[in-house]
Every structure is written in C-alpha cells, then in structure tokens.
Amino acid sequence: MLEIGSFIADRYEILEKIGAGGMSDVYKAKDQVLGRFVAVKVLKPEFAEDVNFVTKFHTEAQSAAGLQHPNIVNIYDVGSEEHMHYIVMEYVEGITLKTYIEKKGRLNYKEAISIAIQVARGIEAAHNNNIVHRDIKPQNIMISNEGKVKVTDFGIARAATSNTIHSDVMGSVHYTSPEQARNGFVDGKSDIYSLGIVMYEMVTGRVPFDGDTTVAIAIQHLQEEMVAPSVYAPDLPVSLEKIILKCTQKSQDRRYATMGELLVDLKKALMTPDDDFVRIDSGVSQAKTTIIREEEVRGIKEHANKNYAAAEKASAKKTYEYDDEDDDDEEEDGFLNPKMEKAVTILGIVTGVIIIIIIIYLIGSMVGLFGGKKDQKEEPDDQDVIVDESGKIEMIDLKGKNFDQAKTELENMGLKIYQSATEVSDEYEQGQIIDQDIPVGEMVDEGTMVRVTVSSGKSEEDTEETVAVPQVTGYTDTAAIGMLTDAGLDYNREYENSDTVAEGTVIRQSPESGESVAGGTKVTIVVSQGRQSVAVPDLKNMTESEARKALEEKGLQCGTVSSDYSDTVEEGKVIDQSEAAGKTVYSGTTVNITVSLGKKEELYMLRANIKLPNDDTVVSANITLQDADGNELDSWANVSAASFPFHIEVLNIKSASGNLIIEWVMEDEEGNVTTSTQNVAATFEKQN
C-alpha cells in the first residue's frame, strides 16, 4: 500500500485510497503538473512479478487509452516505477449507479432511459474502436455530482479483431451474458445483454437472476427465463420493457445488432413511451431458448464448483468504491470451461439424435409402419399450432392443463409462460391452470409471455379458518400488500387516476376492511396514479363551440373567450389558446381561447372647412360627400350663405379618397335664381 503524501513519477501525489480490486488498488491523487485530481490504479505487489498479470494490466491501459468520450472515464497515463505498475485515469466525483439504485429503490422510466442512453453512447464509442467492455454492471457506471454518466473499468476489455474472440475473463455473474457464462463467442452483443440486465435492475430495483453461488446464478443465465420487469414495475411503459427483453435474449441473433440500434429505440421510448414499436425477431437458427437438461446442469455444477471456490472467496472480500474491477483472479476459464462445453455439446447432439428417432417412430406408428394402424380413437396430446402469414401464433387453451404440460406445449410453439398467481378452485385440481391472460384464439408474436393462474386445490370449508380483511385504504401499495400478505391473503392490484389521493396510495379495497374471508382470498386494491395528465388539443381554426367540445372530451375546461382581429384566420375561428397544443397538463385545467374578428379594416375620416366663392349673389349651397365608387357618404342641403365658412366632419370612411360635390345657389338683384356645381377631389385621413 502506498503511503499518503508519497509521489509517483515525481508528479502524482497520493492523497487517499479509494478502492481495491482483485489485482490492484485505486488511489485519489493530485497531478502536480496540471493541478487536477486523478485516480491512480496500482497493481498489487504480489502480482507485479507475474508476467501474465503485468501484461493484462498494461493491455487494459492500451485498449482504453484511445477512447475519448464524455461518457467514458478517460485514461491519462500509464507507467512503471521500481517494479510498481500504474495507470492514471480521470477522477470522477460522484457515486456508482449501484449505490444510486440502492438509495432510490427503483428509478422511474425517464431517469432509467436517460442513464441507459449515456451508458450506451460510451459503449458505442468503445465498440467503434473495436473494444468490447465485457464487464458492464452498475458498479462500473459512475454518476458524477453534475449528473454526468460515465462508464469505467475497461480492465477486462480486449481489442476486437476479425478473428473469433473468446472470453477468458468473466465479469460479475449477475450481469454476464450466456455466451460469457459458457465461455463462448463474445462480441458487442454481450455488452448489450449486460446493459439490458442493468436496465432491468434500474426499473425494478432487483436483478433478474440471483442465487447462493456464482455457478447457480450463471446456470440461470443459461437456462432460466427471466420474470418480465413489468411484474415488479407495473407502471413500466411497454416500449422500455420490450427494449429490456430484446437486449437480454439468450440468443445473440435476437438481440440488438449494435448499440446504435439500441440507442434509436431508447430515444424513441423517451419521446413515446407507450408506443409498442420494438420488434423482437425470431432469429435465424433459434426459434426459442435452448434449455440445458438436468443431468448436464449437475455435471456443470460438479465441475465448476471446484474451479470457482477461490473466486467466490475473493469476491466475498472485495469492496468497490471507485472504478476498479479487474477480477482477473476470478473464473479464468469462464463458467463452462472448454472441456465441459465440449461434453455439453456432445450430450446435445446425442439428445437431438434420440429426439429424431422418437419422431420417426411416432410418425411410423401413426401410418401403420410399426404394428399396423390403430383402430381405437386416441386423444391428441397437444393442440394444433396455427401460424398465420405474418408469423403470429394462435393462442391455445391452457385451462385444465398442469403447469409443466402447458410450459412444454408453449415452448414448442415458441411462447413463454409465467405463473402470476394461485387461486383456490373447486373445478380444477391442484396444479392445473384455471386462467390465462391471453384469450384463446388471439394471434401473438413469437416469444410472447403468457401469464397464468394455477389452482391451489379445492377449498376445505369444514376446516377452513377465516381471517378479517385489514384496513389498507390510505396506505401505500407496498405497505398494503405487506399487510395483506401478513394476514394470509392474496391481492389483486389495479390502478386509477385520482385528483385527491396521492400517487401510489390505495384509494379503495374490496372486500372492505373487517370482512371475514377465507385464507388466501384475493383482496383487490385500487392504487392512485395521481392526477390524470392529458395533452392539450390544438384548437386553432376551430369555432368556439368546436373548441369547447374538444376541451371537454379531454377533461379540460374552457375559460375566458376573448376576441381580436386576424389577417389569416377567418372571423369566428380560434386564433390563440392559453395552453400550447400538445402540452401535458392535469385533467380539469382551464384553457382560455381568443376568437378572430376577421381582418381589421382601415378607416378614414374627412374634416374640412368650405368657404363661399367670391360672389355676392350666392345665397345657399347643397353639399354631398361621395366615396371613390360614387356612393354617398353624407349630405347637407340648403346651407345658407350666412353659415359659411361651413365645417364638415365625417368618420368611419372605408375608402381613402372620394369627391365633395357643392351646388351653389345664386340670386341676382332682379330675383333670378341660378346654380353652379363644383366637384372637388378629396383625400381622406387615416382614422386612429
């Protein structure tokens, strides 16, 4: 262990130890040349003389040093000094994703997608440089204090070449891919699988496979189907669940081909989480998951337990503080070493031959090749499988079948099964299926998970004890489920929006509290999803009545209706709304609208003083004002000469010019009356 205050390469001052791994220690240090904090990974002395360890240690630096990306912990320097080998890397002030998940329990889908996008970007950069990480897990993902996500510890990464690469070092077993577990071909799709497991843990707060030993967990990766994440996170959007399921397909061909493809779907899920756009292909050569037979599993366990005893011991001692996870002293040959994998392969071939022989025999028996045709009518073991042109499979009736029988039939069809609940049944015997979530006859995609309810047997009314239903209304759904379970009752959880009950709190229950029911009875709890959120409709160019109806259909209210002129929207149509179209608001929100008055017309006016002509014989005048089209705007008749100069004022004229026509009336000394007409062109002023 380095002493605090000591220097490496006369440059890096050791400040404190922040982590320890299987083959190295990690220190926080200060770069005295650049004046920044760094993390220094130092190979432990017991490995410094081992050429293999030193080679792997330097390979780590060489493979990762060329990676420069905002979502990757950068490598700054590598060197050796007095038999001490070290790597200098970026120091990240923050916590690991593992610690973050432990603190929050589980993350909401938006946060999980945001983190996954940043991780995927970092891994994509590595893949573009022909580097496979092979140890993606929450402990190797750092979240800085500024919220930046960075992938760290390329300690077991190897530069990919055009040749086949086999994993000789395995990452943490909870996140390892099936091909890593069986020491098979490893490429970028192994990182995709591991990231899928990380996403599963982010949204559920748990890993899909767990066990008492490393080998037990590895075998689950190889042969067990994971429980769908929505079972633990019912509010999980369908898009994110299917992304996780596609990432964690046991067959590499059925996963995303590249991190780039995964990033496209993650970004789309962030924008439209409820769209079912993810497609999981059936694969070229593997229609469904291959399951290892029990005798093979026993052989794997017996062989592997000896090899991994030391690794289990080392793993139990190990702590993680920063970004060191070499693990080169763990499982050097993978979960299934080459000899065992060869044995498993041979067993698989033998099994395939036996199955072919059985199929030939059955077909031959049906057509009379072995023992003649049968006269007796026999019940078929399985129902006919119907597949349409698009590859969708018709759901069969599972009711009355035992779980193992149904599982075999569905797996042969390329479907999956999950026992979601048990119920007391007088009609079905214990172990038989009494209900299925996908109706008979419905067409489903290959790989679909069918959830079933299994009979727990007939009720025993004579000896059955009743229990009082506890009061769970007003409690969180987690607390309510715990109370029902403690009382010996089952539960059924439903969701409903509420403007008054907080999200995650039970609104009501059935049966009500205090009722006496048989043990195991299902109590339905309705859990609040909080106030319902709706998208504001686009009201523009609607009439007022149409806008009111559109708001009402969305559960929104129409507030103030104002009006204004518009050069583009015709009179009576909506030109503006207080809440933007597409904005998400709570149900009941008031939206104000503005209705068009049509195009605003320019108005003009005329103010003028008319003087008498220089003629003493003028006694009166008739005055008419016309617009440019000759339409009369106003008139004044028999205006006496004594009224001149005569002032006129006309407002709200719709044209900019017109004519002022004056008929002068004259009378001479002898009383003779004559007239003279004067036509004056008039230009009108704009009216404010």
CA angle 329, 332, 337 (to 5 degrees): 155
Cβ contact 244:203 at 8 Å: yes
Cβ contact 328:56 at 8 Å: yes
429 vs 104, 383, 621, CA distance in Å?
Answer: 42, 21, 115
Q: What is the amino acid identity at position 363?
A: I
Return phi, psi of residue 138, to 5°.
-60, -30
Among residues 182, 186, 195, the alpha carbon closest in space to that of 136 is found at 195
Rg (Cα) of the chain, in Å, rounded? 41
Cβ contact 77:29 at 8 Å: no
Among residues 495, 432, 196, 446, the alpha carbon closest in space to that of 419 is found at 432
DSSP category for residue 138 = G
Which residues, 6+ apart, have CB-to-CB distance to 69 below 8 Å?
A: 121, 122, 125, 126
Cβ contact 533:508 at 8 Å: no
Cβ contact 132:186 at 8 Å: yes
| Pair of tokens at residue 245 | 């399921």
Task: Identify whether 511 is preceded by a cis peptide bond (ω within 30 of 0).
Answer: yes
For residues 663 and 430, give the distance between their C-alpha atoms in angstroms, rounded to a whole number: 114
CA angle 496, 451, 228 (to 5 degrees): 75
Return phi, psi of residue 81, to 5°.
-155, 115
- How is 353-384 classified by DSSP, letter by letter? HHHHHHHHHHHHHHHTTTT----S----SSPP
Cβ contact 555:534 at 8 Å: yes
For residues 406 and 415, give the distance between their C-alpha atoms in angstroms, rounded to a whole number: 10
Among residues 336, 360, 385, the alpha carbon closest in space to that of 179 is found at 336
Question: Does an H or E element contain 483, and which?
Answer: helix 477-486
Q: Which amino acids are annotated catalytic? A: 135
Q: Within 10 A of 254 (CB to CB), how many other CB atoms are there?
A: 23
Which residues, 6+ apart, have CB-to-CB distance to 436 below 8 Å?
A: 395, 398, 399, 450, 451, 452, 453
Distance separating the N- and C-terminal Cα atoms of the chain: 87
Cβ contact 547:539 at 8 Å: yes
- The residue assigned the tokens 């503005």 is 594
Tell me the H-state helices in 224-374: 238-247, 259-271, 294-307, 309-317, 338-367
Cβ contact 398:406 at 8 Å: yes
For residues 492 and 498, give the distance between their C-alpha atoms in angstroms, rounded to a whole number: 19
Among residues 437, 524, 418, the alpha carbon closest in space to that of 473 is found at 524
